[in-house]
């Protein structure tokens, strides 16, 4: 196997936290159990997706607050919170609270842009200001300021029996350095770098005009290098790659067939840019850990990072996720030079 990448330093996983509408408690409990399993297997981080008006986690901060009381070491993260649904001041309070509860383990990932299906949801989300909301980077900047302790108001002091602060409370020292931006374009990579964030790069990127003929990995590589070129930490700036990875080492024949069918169904979207946003998707990696490691070592973007958050497929069952996570931690991770946390 060609060891062309530096050893993997940090290994994480990402789950969407699906649930049955008739029994949402079981789905949320399953997510918490997977996070507990991740800590037992030595994973460095557990990431949860964010889904509104769907049958997936709609409140990742609440879920991670619960996870913080079931775990003691593993980093707890979001990938990503779409800020178009959020008030930055209130979100900063929630993030700081969960970071305090977790002992400084929260790694919030965020993104910008209008909420999905905005025309259908705007009257419920912003009934009085839907035509005036700013869904650009300014929303992230406000969140960063609040998280990092910048004043939120001009008043601080005592009023009657109550004491007021001019900044978000509780203040969570260090949280500002653990903020991630989920970026898929050169512009977002540069903005995140210039504002001192970390970069989450996933299985979706935007094909810029000058990159029409380039493959997914080369486009993703350009984002990583642009980010580090503009970040104060340079080559030490943190980047996490998140591809869909499904090792089959200990899978049953039925599981292998299901995993391959899932990947085959999604493969056509990887062959050309999709939609007006010209989005490009990475193929899902299904196979033995040795086969997946070989493909990752051949990936130009993977060779630029030393931490990953491999994404679990959307629609599998709890037992499937247990098998996949166990194979990642015990077989794929070591094949990539990773050592489990003690």
Tens of pLDDT, residue by residue over 212-225, are 568 999 999 999 99
Q: What is the pLDDT of residue 212?
A: 59
Instruction: Give the integer Cα–Cα distance in Å for 70 and 197.
Output: 28
Q: What is the pLDDT of residue 2?
A: 41
| Choices 3.40.50.720, 3.30.930.10, 3.20.20.30, 3.40.50.300: CATH for 10-153+164-335 | 3.20.20.30
Q: What is the pLDDT of residue 55?
A: 96
Q: What is the pLDDT of residue 341?
A: 87
Q: What is the pLDDT of residue 273?
A: 86
Q: What is the pLDDT of residue 299?
A: 97
> Over the stretch 227-269, which tens digit does the pLDDT of each residue have?
999 999 999 999 999 999 999 999 999 999 999 999 999 999 9
75, 45 Cβ separation under 8 angstroms = yes
Q: What is the pLDDT of residue 296?
A: 98
The segments of the chain whose pLDDT lies below 70 read 1-5, 209-213
Three state DSSP letters for the chain:
CCCCCCCCCEEEEEECCCCECCEHHHHHHHHHHHHHHHHHHCCCEEEECCCCCCCCCCCHHHHHHHHHCCCCCCEEEECCEEHHHCCHHHHHHHHHHHHHHHCCCEECEEECCCCCCHHHHHHHHCCCCCCCCCCCHHHHHHHHHHHCCCCCCCCCEEECCEEECCCCCCCCCCHHHHCEEECCCHHHHHHHHHCCCEEEECCEEECCHHHCCCCHHHHHHHHHHHHHHHCCCHHHCCEEECCEEEECCCCCHHHHHHHHHHHHHHHHHHCCCECCCCEEECCCEEECHHHHHHHHHCCCCHHHCCEEEEECCCCCCHHHHHHHHHHHHHHHHHHCCCCCCC
Q: Report the first-to-last Cα separation within the chain, whole angstroms.
A: 27
240, 306 Cβ separation under 8 angstroms = no
Tokens of 10: 């940090």
- Would the pTM of this model clear 0.85, i.e. be above it? yes
């Amino acid at each position: 196997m060609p060891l062309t990448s530096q050893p993997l330093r940090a290994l994480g996983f990402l789950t969407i936290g699906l649930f049955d509408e008739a029994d949402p408690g079981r789905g949320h409990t399953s997510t918490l159990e997977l996070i507990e399993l991740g800590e037992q297997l030595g994973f460095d981080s557990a990431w949860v997706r964010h889904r509104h008006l769907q049958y997936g986690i709609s409140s990742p901060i609440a879920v991670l607050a619960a996870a913080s009381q079931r775990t003691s070491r593993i980093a707890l993260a979001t990938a990503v919170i779409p800020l178009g649904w959020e008030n930055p001041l209130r979100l900063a309070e929630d993030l700081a609270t969960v970071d305090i509860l977790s002992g400084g383990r929260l790694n919030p990932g965020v993104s910008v842009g209008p909420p999905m299906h905005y025309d259908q949801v705007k009257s419920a989300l912003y009934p009085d200001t839907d035509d005036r909301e700013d869904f650009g980077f300014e929303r992230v900047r406000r969140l960063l300021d609040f998280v990092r302790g910048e004043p939120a108001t001009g008043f601080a002091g005592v009023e009657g029996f109550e004491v007021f602060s001019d900044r978000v409370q509780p203040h969570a020292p260090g949280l500002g350095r653990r903020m991630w931006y989920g970026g898929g374009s050169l512009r977002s990579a540069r903005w995140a770098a210039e504002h001192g964030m970390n970069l989450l790069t996933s299985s979706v990127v935007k094909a810029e005009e000058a990159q029409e003929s380039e493959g997914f990995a080369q486009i993703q590589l350009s984002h990583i290098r642009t980010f580090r070129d503009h970040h104060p930490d340079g080559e030490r700036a943190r980047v996490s790659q998140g591809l869909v990875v499904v090792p089959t080492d200990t899978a049953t024949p039925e599981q292998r067939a299901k995993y391959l069918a899932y990947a085959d169904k999604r493969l056509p979207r990887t062959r050309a840019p999709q939609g007006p946003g010209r989005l490009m998707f990475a193929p899902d990696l299904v196979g033995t850990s040795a086969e997946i490691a070989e493909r990752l070592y051949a990936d130009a973007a993977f060779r630029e990072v030393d931490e990953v958050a491999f994404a679990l497929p959307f629609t599998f069952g709890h037992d499937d996720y247990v098998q996949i996570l166990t194979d990642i931690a015990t077989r794929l991770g070591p094949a990539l030079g990773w050592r489990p946390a003690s």
